[in-house]
């Protein structure tokens, strides 16, 4: 055998051994137990706190708002799509900071002119539709057709 190979073959064997050793040490515990992932992560994710409470949870206290909403075009919306995640608020109403989205752009996220959704949602041109006032000065956000003049 040529002397080069006498050196290289053991070196490659060592390299492969080190690779396998490293792999053995680095693969985390519970990996592959139930599939190609770390099974312990399931339990870890279960322990994470919830962010969203859901509309029914809001209705437990704000039943007036929930009822109001049901009677108008925003009936299909969830409270938290406008007010942001509310789990903390649900647990302790005094502590949780919720968003009060009173800017025109907020309504525009759904209602601004967008040619690809004309038939999906009522649209207004933000630059054109009563541009000097906030939307909620006229529209009640929970009852959008209750127009305050």
| Binding to ligand HEC in span 71-100, by CB under 6 A | 73-74, 76-77, 79-83, 86, 89-90, 93-94, 98, 100
Give the shortest CB-26-to-another protein separation in angstroms.
4
Report how far apart, in Å, the C-alpha atoms of 78 and of each of 66, 69, 137 are: 10, 10, 21
- Span interacting with another protein, options 56-64, 66-74, 99-107, 132-140, rule CB under 8 A: 99-107
If you compute the radius of gyration of the chain from its CA atoms, what whole number of angstroms results?
29
**Contact call for residue 147 and ligand HEC (CB under 6 A):** yes
In sequence order, which ranges of the chain are alpha helices (DSSP H)? 3-26, 40-46, 55-59, 63-70, 79-83, 87-91, 104-111, 135-138
Count Cβ neighbours within 10 Å for each residue of 75-88 and write b for 16 or more, e otherwise: eeeebbebbbebeb
Among 40, 51, 71, 103, binds another protein (CB under 8 A): 103
**Contact call for residue 62 and another protein (CB under 8 A):** no
| Binding to ligand HEC in span 102-131, by CB under 6 A | 102, 104, 106-111, 121-122, 124, 126, 129-130
Distance CA 118, CA 135 (A): 20
Where do contacts with ligand HEC occur on this chain (CB under 6 A)? 53, 55, 57-58, 60-62, 65-66, 69, 73-74, 76-77, 79-83, 86, 89-90, 93-94, 98, 100-102, 104, 106-111, 121-122, 124, 126, 129-130, 133, 135-139, 141-142, 144-145, 147
């Amino acid at each position: 055998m040529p002397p080069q190979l006498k050196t290289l073959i053991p070196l490659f064997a060592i390299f492969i051994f080190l690779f396998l050793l490293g792999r053995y040490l680095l693969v985390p515990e519970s990996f592959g137990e139930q599939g190609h992932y770390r099974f312990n992560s399931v339990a870890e994710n279960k322990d994470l706190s919830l962010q969203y409470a859901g509309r029914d949870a809001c209705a437990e206290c704000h039943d007036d708002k929930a009822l109001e909403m049901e009677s108008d075009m925003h009936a299909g919306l969830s409270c938290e799509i406008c007010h942001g995640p509310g789990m903390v608020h649900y647990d302790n109403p005094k502590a949780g900071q919720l968003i009060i989205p009173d800017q025109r752009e907020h309504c525009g996220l759904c209602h601004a002119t967008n040619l690809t959704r004309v038939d999906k949602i009522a649209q207004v041109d933000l630059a054109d539709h009563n541009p000097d006032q906030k939307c909620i000065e006229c529209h009640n956000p929970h009852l959008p057709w209750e127009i305050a003049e």
